Amino acid sequence: MFQRLFCLLLVLFVSPSISTRIPLVGDDWTITNKINHTALGHIPGSIHTILIAAKQIPDPYMGSNDVDLRYLVNTGDWTFTKNFTLTTDILASNQITIHFDQIDTVSNITINGCPIGSTHNMFIAYTFNVTSGCLKTENQIDIDFESPVLYAKRQSIAYNDTVPPNCTPDVQHGECLVQFIRKEPCSFSWDWGPAFAPIGIPGDVYLEAFNTTEIIVQLESVNLASFNAANQTWQVDVMLSSNNDQFTSDLKFILENTTWSYETSIAFNHNLSISLTISDSLVQRWWPNGYGSQPLYNLVVSNQGKIIDSRSIGFRTVQLIQHEYGTGINGSSFYFSINSQPIFVKGSNWIPSDAFQERVSNDKLERLLRSAQLANMNMLRIWGGGIYERNSFYEITDRLGIMLWHDFMFACSLYPVDEPFLNNVHDEIIYQVKRLQSHPSIVLWSGNNENEAAVAENWYQVPIEKMNKTKEDYVELYVNTIMNAVKTVDKGTNRPFVTSSPSNGLESIAEHYIAADPQDPLYGDVHFYGYQNDSWDSTTYPITRFLSETGIQSLPSLDTWYETTSNSSDLVFNNSFILHREHSGNQLTAMMYHIESNLPLPVTNDSLLYFTQMIYLSQINQAMTLKSISDHCRVHSSVDMIDPKTSKGHTMGLMYWQINDIWQAPTWATIEYGLKWKMGHNYVRHMYAPVYPIAILTPYLANVTDENAKISFYIINELVNGMRGDLICSIYSLDSLTPRLTFGGDVSFATTGIQNAFTYPYALLMKRVRCNDSSECIVHCSFNYQQNQIGQTLFLSRPKNYKLSDPNLQIESIKQLSSTDFAITLTVERPALFVWLDVPANVTGYFLPNGFNMLEPKMTVTFHSWEPVTHFDTATLDVQHTSLVGVNYFFLLLLLDKIMSAEQLNLAESIKKVHQQLRNDVNQTPEAAESIWNQHVANTDKLNEYAKSMRQLAQHHWAEKAHGQTRLTWCYTTIKDYFFGNEISGLERKCARDKRKQIVNYICADCQIRIQQRITKPRVLDVGSCYNAFSIYDDLETIAIDIAPADESVHRIDFLRVPQPPLICAHSFDAIIFSLVLDYLPTCHQRLSACLIAHELLTCLGLLVIVEPDSTLRENRQKLWRQALESIGFGLVSNIKVTNLYCMAFRKITQQVKLNEDEHERISQLFNIRQDTMNDNESSKSEQKLISVDEDLFGELPFSSD
């Protein structure tokens, strides 16, 4: 116990006049794992950065090295060694200590063979006493590190109880049991980052020799505890400590740059807390960014006339307002009030900016945080799965006015609660709060990330009999340990504490710290991700009191991707290389869904160009998503916006996920790993502006003839002293820079707030400007106030529907304004949407603005370089530019006939004829459908030619445009999630849900055993396979069949005639895939028969995966198919609309299906599709249209109807 306290108490600064420091950092450390690596390297450093410098390992961020280098931390322990010399003066010192700012993580330290101490928490600085007998002139320090992965495993075994989750999801390629070690949680992987689990010394390390017998007093912490409004005074608490026995200390405190000082003579016995009183009249208030300045004052502490230390402090009050609204309105508020001024929080979530902290420079932190300030942010959330940042980070946030919502480092897991673990946590909290509490930017402590929700919603399927214990453990850790530790140090009323994020705040406390629904939008804060919905539609987002996590992924720039590979062939959307770095399951599929819902897809056979354009589109999608969320939150920010029917409204904060990246990958970040701003960050700067116009069309994307639709125009004002301005709005067509209509008016504010400037009937406006379709027009508004101007564009239709003309976007000039700033003048002849500017990787900086819509003939944009640019010419600053027209479908459709090859047309024509003939024959004599089908199957010559053409077309034309084969990937990831899952498979989730709802599904004994043991390699039947496309997935056991095989691995079998033992037997497949198969069958009765056969072949709870063109299932036919499948013993698992396709997955939930004749006929009719009733001419036109256009990647079947 003494050693533990000693470590904490001596993590202090001592006057240099009474001590000498001997640095131990430098390039002369040797590391070895005594197996395959020994290297000389630099401290601060870790095994990875030292071995990189020694050229013993490749760059961990390249390729799949995050997995290939896993052996470094998985195969054993490491020893760090350094030899150092001490002078006789040092050896004669009264006391010598060794100090580690940070050591990662579990180690034993010896000097010259003498045990010095051990470490077991990377979040604590350690100081150990070194006895004089252990030191000599020539010395050797050895630090023996345990593998953090193996240590966590050993701790888990020793704990003798389950603490889920055991491992990270497979898609993260991560390590297990991180909850058993006090180490950066995300270092074992997360859904946006790699698993390196570093070992080393990322901070400073030194010996300190004390050369005097004088009394030594150390400054532990300074805390701005409270403000007395009645007396207009501040209470500042100072904590001091000393190793000396009781004595009298003469202390003096000076607040620099003021007239305030205070002296006292006081009895001191090891620890002393003293409260200082400072008049408010002597200081200026510290304000968040956008609300005022950030004056900081240095509080200097002296003992016996000698300066001990100092802390920089800022004077501000912090309140977290959680009040009830009164009669008729449920819930309570949740907002920050700083200096009695309510603040609408505009921010983001912060993660570690590198997997190896020693690589993070103060310049990088400065630029990231400066980027937050430039984006009008006033708060960042230090997320609980990362680290407590270094001191310079908090000094920067103090200076920039960036408030911090600070989680403690616990996230997405249950944790052990034995005494050693809780003692370790207690010491961590005490140390970190003392270190950080002087910073005015830290306005709230939070116990954890998402663990209240994890317990309340039982994310980890804890057995019901253990739930009470789980809840008790939660309270023991976050309330009895963490919260109480905070309160013993951070006293006063000036920094609130919440136990979790999300939580219901005071309501969670009332429910014994675990609310029934921690995501209740009427209380506290909410985390929300709406991947299943149109992310541009703001009505799909909840109206909360405070939205502390939300967002969507995008791809980083091409320059950033080239930091991970030198091979351009790796850069293919959705291929294995990209998927390896995508650590969140199905996110690329979701990304594609959202992009294709709103934006035109690239049409090019150049794979690198396609990938480049997908980067651009993904960043547009992220930017517009964040804007939609922010507009939604800000328009509901006023208490007057509370809906009395639902009690929803008064949203007073938004912090999107996430501002920064830990490496190069598809993530939610708006700033890339190399500091390049994505388009989303430019949009954040715009949407977080202190004065901001919002235009809303209600209902979303209304028809131009909708008499009930309206366009509302709002102004948001955060300027405390009010303002006045002019709102001017114009309606444009997409072929002219001359507006069809302009209107507007004056808007004035006495103080902060939101105003509805005006509202107009939508149909009337559209009629006035002769917009007969919403895709013909856009609305653009400009608000001019106090010599400032801010614009806002409202899309009346999805941008993919706009018929854009080439705007002739040009750069007229580039002028250097200073060593770091440039002015770029652009010109257009027609409207240009999402104009994007970029510079080569060797120039780092940001454009203001960027990603904008250009509706005037000339515009000037500025570029700021983080580094001075010398010898400037236009080649030095090679500005690249693009706009949406470069990937617009309608624009490219004009060129399509020119680029479509004769070979492609011939292949498509031969396939079309086969389909036409089959359908025509059946339509002419429907009573002979079965015999016609049999004849079709028997015509092997025709089918062989068909198969050859289909394979050629799919692999060499459609695949070139697919870049990742969306349909195949969706089928694969759906099967993988259902049987493997992340922590819990989809199958297990469904079974658990059935159990909760008391739904009984028959499962035979064999299947029950397989489910319990987890199905490791699902047996899959790929029907209509053609060339066995699913054979690329090694974790599936695939049998491929087709009536027209194009590959020898595909069996020639008519599925309507199965089973065919021993290859195909009843009750033998875990999954069956009908990919573009069912509408090939010419009758609805055959489609039903195929599904009944699939039901017979599937194992208990097996999966039926169906993919069809949307032309087949439009007009709500997908709902009829679902009804039909549910009628024959299937239950829906998932469905999604991807590029021109409907993808559906159903599980088998009944053992047998018996239909009488009437039931068979009725259900068959539900499988009808439009092509069943089309005549030859209609079918030909439909097929010809699709073949000619070759639309959208996987509009594959040439008989699909438009």
Gap between the Cα atoms of 504 and 322, Å rounded:
10
Amino acid at 458: N
Burial of 144 (0-12, 13-18, 19+ CB in 10 A): middle
70 φ/ψ sector (left φ>0, alpha ψ -120 to 50, else beta): alpha
Q: Quick check: bond before 1062 cis, omega within 30?
A: yes
Give the sign of the dihedral formed by CA 893, CA 898, CA 904, CA 907: positive
Q: Could you confirm whether 472 is annotated as catalytic?
A: no
Q: Which of 269, 295, 277 is nearest to 238 (CA)?
A: 277
Tell me the sheet residues that pair with 768. Answer: none
Where is 233: in which H helix or E strand?
strand 233-241
Instruction: Show the tokens assigned to 1187.
Output: 């073949």
Q: Could you confirm whether 945 is annotated as catalytic?
A: no
* Residue bearing tokens 């507007």: 744
Amino acid at 1151: Q
Give CA 200 to chain center in angstroms: 28
Decide: 1115 and 1145 in contact? Cβ < 8 Å.
Answer: no
Decide: 1024 and 1196 in contact? Cβ < 8 Å.
Answer: no
Amino acid at 53: A
Decide: 361 and 330 in contact? Cβ < 8 Å.
Answer: no
Gap between the Cα atoms of 667 and 584, Å rounded:
9
Decide: 193 and 61 in contact? Cβ < 8 Å.
Answer: no
Decide: 749 and 719 in contact? Cβ < 8 Å.
Answer: yes
Gap between the Cα atoms of 529 and 625, Å rounded:
11
Tell me the sheet residues that pair with 209. Answer: 20, 96
Give the sign of the dihedral formed by CA 284, CA 443, CA 637, CA 728: positive
Gap between the Cα atoms of 190 and 196, Å rounded:
11
Q: Which value, to the nearest 10 degrees, does the dihedral of the CA atoms of residues 177, 183, 184, 189 take?
A: -30
Instruction: Show the tokens assigned to 836.
Output: 């994007």
From 452, 549, 563, 1191, active-site residue: 549
Where is 894: in which H helix or E strand?
helix 889-899
117 is in an annotated binding site: no
Gap between the Cα atoms of 416 and 177, Å rounded:
11
Give CA 327 to chain center in angstroms: 39
Gap between the Cα atoms of 449 and 446, Å rounded:
8
Spell out a b/e string for 861-875, using b for 16 or more CB atoms within 10 Å of the CB, else e: bebebbeebeeeeee
Instruction: Show the tokens assigned to 1069.
Output: 């497949």
1042 is in an annotated binding site: yes
Report helix, strand or coil for 955: helix
Q: Quick check: bond before 44 cis, omega within 30?
A: yes
From 175, 428, 450, 452, active-site residue: 450
Give the sign of the dihedral formed by CA 236, CA 242, CA 248, CA 254: negative
Decide: 559 and 652 in contact? Cβ < 8 Å.
Answer: no
Amino acid at 127: T
* Residue bearing tokens 């780092």: 844
Residue ranges in 437-481 assigned as alpha helix (H): 451-456, 467-475
Spell out a b/e string for 645-684, using b for 16 or more CB atoms within 10 Å of the CB, else e: eebbbbbbbbbbbbbbbbbbbbbbbbbbbebbbbbbbbbb
CB atoms within 10 A of CB 153: 17
Contacts of 230 (CB under 8 A, 6+ apart): none
Show binding-site residues for S-adenosyl-L-methionine.
1024, 1042
Catalytic residues: 450, 549
Show binding-site residues.
1024, 1042
